Amino acid sequence: MMTPLLYSVAYSLLRARGRQTLVAAIGVTFSITMFITLLSFMSGLNQLLDGLVLNRTPHVRLYNELKPAPHQPIDLYSRGRRQHNFIHSIKPSNELPRIRNSAAVMAAIRLDPRVLGVAPKIQTQVFYNVGTLTLNGTISGIAVEEENALFAFSDYVVAGNFLSLKTVPNSIILGKGAADLMLTDLGDVIQVTTPRGERVQLKVVGLFQSGLLEIDKVQSYTSLATAQKLLGESSQYVTDIQVKLHDRALAPAVAQEYQQLYEVEALDIQTANSEFETGTFVRTLISYAVGITLLTVAGFGIYNILNMMIYEKMDTIAILKAVGFSGQDVQRIFVLVALSIGVFGGALGLVGGLGLSALIGQLPFHPASLPTVHTYPIDFNPVFYGIAGVFALITTFLAGYFPARKASQIDPVIIIRGK
């Protein structure tokens, strides 16, 4: 049968059951809208939560870990003898946690085409002196510009200018939680006690807020030069080398390679933050499961409507087959009816999902621990819209195919004889 005629018959059937058709289309529209909105919001939320840690974490971290001396004196004394030594309570070797030849190592890493950037760092424990009290703290000495380029350091500085670390000698950017505990603000001078037992005065030039309160209570930042001065070390002293890659997925292999090549400990971002990766996967899986459930329910609604339409249109189907329409033509007609509902409802759903996501993305959201966040996080990923559109077509096609196959097998003689 000619295709335009099939389209005309399908259109007539849609108009004849206009109210049911509209209900089915609205079901598809609602499902697509909620599917896109749910995935967009959950993906944006995942990016926000993971960004609190992952954006501040190097893809590969090189460092030295305190370990027991590999060769104990008793082993050297008994070498060659037929005896085995059992040694307990071994103390770490007398070695600083610095990376040897750090400048040469960083220069070599920068030449690696897989590497986006390298930033040195010094980690040290201190005590913040508050009158007669002391608070535990951690100071990170950073190369200010490299740290900002790789880890968006300036986004977390909620007061002051991060570049002041580079221009103001003996300066510090305090964690917001630590500053609140010490009742300290910009321009104040605080005292810290270094691991060597010396008290040093540092000027507060900024406040840092990561969004994790327990970190903000202890963490602070200085320049590399200031951290080296606190520890009484030379300008070559570095405890960590932070590496950012173009492709984060390469981090485990690169970490293992660098560990063997430079004889240091190497930690990749997947190992360091495996719990965040798991949380992101679970939240995304739940979002997809809920969205697909909505689409499947809409598909069952279309299936029921087409079943009822076929039952009520038995006479019409019999007449169509009697005047020359084949069973395959009848099947195509009802599949066209189902796909028309899916295309119309799906198109409205895509527009509705985009509009609702944009509306949610404009709603004010001001969490106290995240000063850089002002609206609800939304991820306008085109993949979500593609998945929703394809799944809507597949669902409606299957919902129409089985009733259509049933309609194609109806014997018009039996129906006409019954009438």
In this prediction, residue 342 carries a pLDDT of 80
Give the Cα separation of 371 and 158 in Å (integer): 7
Give the H or E element holding residue 344. helix 327-362
In this prediction, residue 338 carries a pLDDT of 78
Q: Give the torsion sign (CA, 95, 100, 106, 111).
A: negative
Cβ pair 137, 192 in contact under 8 A: yes
- Are 234 and 141 contained in the same domain? yes
Buried b / exposed e over 163-175, threshold 16 CB at 10 Å, is ebbbebebbbbbb
Is position 387 within any domain? yes
- Are 307 and 265 contained in the same domain? no
The region of weakest confidence among 113-127, 193-207, 290-304 is 290-304
In this prediction, residue 111 carries a pLDDT of 92
Reference 109, options 56, 166, 59; nearest CA is 59
Q: Is 242 helix (H, G, I), strand (E, B) or coil?
A: strand
More confident residue, 226 or 372: 226
Is position 83 within any domain? no
The gap from C-alpha 142 to its chain's centroid, in whole angstroms, comes to 26
Report phi then psi at 269, rounded to 5.
-70, -30
Give the Cα separation of 205 and 172 in Å (integer): 6
- Are 226 and 300 contained in the same domain? no
Q: What tens digit of pLDDT does each residue of 334-379 get? A: 778 778 888 888 899 899 999 999 999 888 887 766 666 778 888 8
Give the Cα separation of 408 and 329 in Å (integer): 8
Is position 247 within any domain? yes
Count the neighbouring beta carbons within 10 Å of the beta carbon of residue 396: 30
Residue 243 has pLDDT above 90, yes or no: yes
Where in 143-277 does DSSP place strands (E)? 157-160, 171-175, 189-193, 199-208, 219-223, 240-245, 265-268
Residue 182, judged by CB atoms within 10 A of its CB (0-12, 13-18, 19+), counts as buried
Reference 45, options 389, 358, 361, 353; nearest CA is 361
Give the Cα separation of 304 and 307 in Å (integer): 5
Mean pLDDT value of segment 41-46: 83
Q: What tens digit of pLDDT does each residue of 102-132 get? A: 888 999 999 999 999 999 999 888 999 887 7
Last residue of a domain, one of 272, 295, 330: 272
- Are 281 and 393 contained in the same domain? yes
- Are 46 and 112 contained in the same domain? no
The region of weakest confidence among 72-76, 242-246, 333-337 is 72-76
56 pLDDT tier (thresholds 50, 70, 90): confident
- Are 136 and 250 contained in the same domain? yes
Is position 90 within any domain? no
Residue positions counted in the chain: 419
Does this model's pTM top 0.75? no
Is position 82 within any domain? no
Mean pLDDT value of segment 272-292: 74
In this prediction, residue 336 carries a pLDDT of 81
- Are 264 and 281 contained in the same domain? no
Last residue of a domain, one of 238, 272, 306: 272
Give the Cα separation of 162 and 141 in Å (integer): 13
Residue type, 230: L
Is position 350 within any domain? yes
- Are 118 and 232 contained in the same domain? yes
Give the H or E element holding residue 116. strand 115-130
Kindly state the tokens that stand for 219. 């963490």
Is position 161 within any domain? yes
Residue 283 has pLDDT above 90, yes or no: no
More confident residue, 318 or 358: 358
In this prediction, residue 121 carries a pLDDT of 92
In this prediction, residue 220 carries a pLDDT of 92
More confident residue, 278 or 66: 278
* Count of structural domains within the chain: 2
Mean pLDDT, rounded, of the chain:
81
Share of the chain above pLDDT 70, in %: 81
- Are 117 and 263 contained in the same domain? yes
Residue 84, judged by CB atoms within 10 A of its CB (0-12, 13-18, 19+), counts as exposed
- Are 323 and 191 contained in the same domain? no
- Are 22 and 36 contained in the same domain? yes
Is position 89 within any domain? no
Residue ranges making up the domain that contains 214: 60-74+95-272
Mean pLDDT value of segment 192-206: 89
The gap from C-alpha 401 to its chain's centroid, in whole angstroms, comes to 38
Q: Look up tokens 């959950």; give the residue.
A: 42
- Are 68 and 200 contained in the same domain? yes
